[in-house]
Structure 1
Amino acid sequence: MGDPRIIDIELDDRTILWRSADVEQERRIAIYDLLEENRFRPVVELERPCDGPFKLLLRVEEGRLIMDLSDGESARVGSISFALAPFRRTIREYFAICDSYYKAIRNATPMQIETIDMARRGIHNDAAELLKERLAAKVEVDFDTARRLFTLICVLHIKG
């Protein structure tokens, strides 16, 4: 019996030109939290049978998220990909609300910060549900795993 979880995750940084300290912190937290607890069980046939644990390389190519999967010994087992078009608006909204949040932290009242943070979490939660739905035919993930994966998808979309 396998262990359906992610034990290592990397981002293909080739398309990322620049990350602010805030974004880099979000990336570190998302990866740390994801590796601490996650559920990741492919439901499609892979190139090579594997029930986990998995190492992932996330990359974006031609509007698709590609998850290159390896087993615990780093042997390639396959890829899972899906179109990111349904996420474009959500990613733009999330970037805008995060920008407002980081600006608010520097000079807004605690109540204003809390209001913006609630909106930010709401967008993030909606995006996680959408990601979970879009992945359902390919890989089973829980809500928290989808939420952290969405954060990493956003990091991959930063162009500078």
Structure 2
Amino acid sequence: MNAKSAFRLTDVTLDESIGRSTPDVEHERAVAIFDLLEENSFTPEGHAGGPYHLRLSLVDQKLVLTIMTEAKEPVATHILSLTPFRRIIKDYFMICESYYQAIRSSTPSQIEAIDMGRRGIHNEGSQTLQERLKGKITLDMDTARRLFTLVCVLYWRG
């Protein structure tokens, strides 16, 4: 196994209390997990290598990342306050709602403008996630973006 493949996720699960949601949210969740597993860079600090399984959950308004090896051996559990994400997530939900409405009734240029704003807020959330995980888990930007989508899905129950 090469070093790059050792520092990646091969399975991601969301807390079982997360129920079904709207078709748009379910689509975002499925695409984020698929894309994340297709290509990611996930390096828990101080660990020799995976690949890894990640379980995301919300406990007392905190994000819990439980990391295990493929053999289900515990690697680390990180608990992050979601306070730094609240405004970003709220803004992201509002613009996503506008985006989904625009897809159904707006011109391509209007949809593109809303999507640019959506991507900007998404990047801000992804960068915040990378900063909050600094010294715990190293992620590339694409991995952080997909994980931020999943953090949003934990909140966004429809």
Question: SS state of the match for residue 74, structure 1?
Answer: coil
Question: SS state of the match for residue 124, structure 2?
Answer: helix
1:70-104 Cα offsets, whole Å, 9 max, x none, are: 11122333312211110000000000000000000
| Corresponding residue of 2:12 | 9
Q: Which amino acid aligns with 2:86?
A: R
Q: Which amino acid aligns with 1:120?
A: R
Question: SS state of the match for residue 21, structure 2?
Answer: coil
Question: SS state of the match for residue 88, structure 1?
Answer: helix
Please say if residues 13 and 156 of structure 1, whose CA atoms lie closer than 8 Å, have aligned partners that are also in contact.
no
Q: Which amino acid aligns with 2:32?
A: A
**Deviating 4+ runs (over 4 angstroms):** none
Cα distance, 1:17 vs structure 2: 4.6
| Corresponding residue of 1:32 | 34
Alignment of 1:1-160 (within 5 A): 3-14=6-17, 16-43=18-45, 50-160=48-158
Return closer, same or farther for 1:13/1:100 CA change in 2, 3 Å cut-off: farther
1:45-70 Cα offsets, whole Å, 9 max, x none, are: xxxx5521110110011121111111
Question: SS state of the match for residue 9, structure 1?
Answer: strand
Return closer, same or farther for 1:56/1:139 CA change in 2, 3 Å cut-off: same
Please say if residues 17 and 158 of structure 1, whose CA atoms lie closer than 8 Å, have aligned partners that are also in contact.
no
Question: SS state of the match for residue 19, structure 1?
Answer: coil
Q: Which amino acid aligns with 1:59?
A: S
Aligned-CA RMSD value: 1.5
Give the TM-score taking structure 1 as reference length: 0.91
Consecutive unaligned residues of structure 1, counting only runs of 5 or more, are none
Cα distance, 1:148 vs structure 2: 0.3
Count of residue pairs brought into register by the alignment: 155
Identical counterparts, % of pairs: 48
Question: SS state of the match for residue 57, structure 1?
Answer: strand
Cα distance, 1:151 vs structure 2: 0.1
Consecutive unaligned residues of structure 2, counting only runs of 5 or more, are none
Please say if residues 45 and 135 of structure 2, whose CA atoms lie closer than 8 Å, have aligned partners that are also in contact.
yes
Return closer, same or farther for 1:17/1:28 CA change in 2, 3 Å cut-off: closer
Give the TM-score taking structure 2 as reference length: 0.92
